[in-house]
Amino acid sequence: MNLGDPVPHVLAELWTHAAAGRVADAAACFAADGIYAVPPALSDETGPRRVAVGPQQIAVALGGDPVGGACVPVLCVSGGADTLVEAEVHDDGRAVATMVCSVRIGGDGLIERYLAYACRGARDPIPTDVDVVPADAATVVHDYFALLDAGDFAGAAAQFSTDVLYSHPPYRHTGIDDPDRIEFRGRVALEAAFNQRGKASFDHDVVALFQRGPHCLFEGSVNNLPNGGSGSFISSLSLAADGTIRRYLSFYCEPAIARR
């Protein structure tokens, strides 16, 4: 079941052609200078994206896409030229990976920028028992990042529900050095993780955010990394009835992929 908005036609076409191995048809969904940026491998969540520009390069890149399979959207949100999607990747009817993407579509209906992330396995399903807008997701996200970046870890954790699922890619530049994706369950465990993570020198900016009911997807950038570095991320969240974040799924890479 896809929550939120319908998947744009050109994006659905891209996924259909790619899953069937029709890489030339899939690449034709991109503008002449379209950007296709995808993970180097499912085992390297945070590494630099493999970037191809233009249909010819993109056709080659599609042939070696590490995600593969059929993309089955579970949440799609659009605003203007931008669309953000969380999806499961299915192989033989089974979810083998979770992916998110940020897509910009030009006035001609072709894809100008496609930025994707993925991790192995399916995550907990998006909760669907809240059918109202319990809070403004943009405000909740702003408060979360402001508190986290300031080192107020109790305040940052308070933006999440007591039973939250917080799923994060391998951390970089923090006190957490686990090389694998990490999931924290419950606010108590999350606050402990924030304390272990420690106050970071970098900060977060949200560059695109769209909310539908209690669900939200947003894209952001990480700035002021060591040696002038930068990163890009996409997060999917669902709010509880009290307006706190109940499910939070995030993806990240370095360096950042610029937006046009």
DSSP labels, the chain: --EESPPPHHHHHHHHHHHTT-HHHHHTTEEEEEEEEE-S-TT-SSSPPEEEEHHHHHHHHHHT-SS-SEEEEEEEEEETTEEEEEEEEEETTEEEEEEEEEEEE-TTS-EEEEEEEEEESPPPPPP-S--S--S-HHHHHHHHHHHHHHT-HHHHHTTEEEEEEEEEPPP-SSS---SS-EEEESHHHHHHHHHHH---S-EEEEEEEEEETTEEEEEEEEES-GGG--EEEEEEEEE-TTSSEEEEEEEEESS-----
What confidence score (pLDDT) does residue 226 get? Answer: 85
What confidence score (pLDDT) does residue 245 get? Answer: 98
The domain spans of the chain are 3-120, 137-253
**How do residues 42-97 score in pLDDT, each as one tens digit?**
889 999 999 999 999 999 999 887 777 799 999 999 999 999 999 999 988 899 99
3-120: CATH topology is Nuclear Transport Factor 2; Chain: A, (3.10.450)
Percent of the chain with pLDDT strictly greater than 90: 83
Average pLDDT score over the chain: 94
**How do residues 157-208 score in pLDDT, each as one tens digit?**
999 999 999 999 998 888 888 888 999 999 999 999 999 999 888 889 999 9
Q: Do domains 3-120 and 137-253 have the same CATH topology?
A: yes
Domain at 137-253: CATH architecture: Roll (3.10)
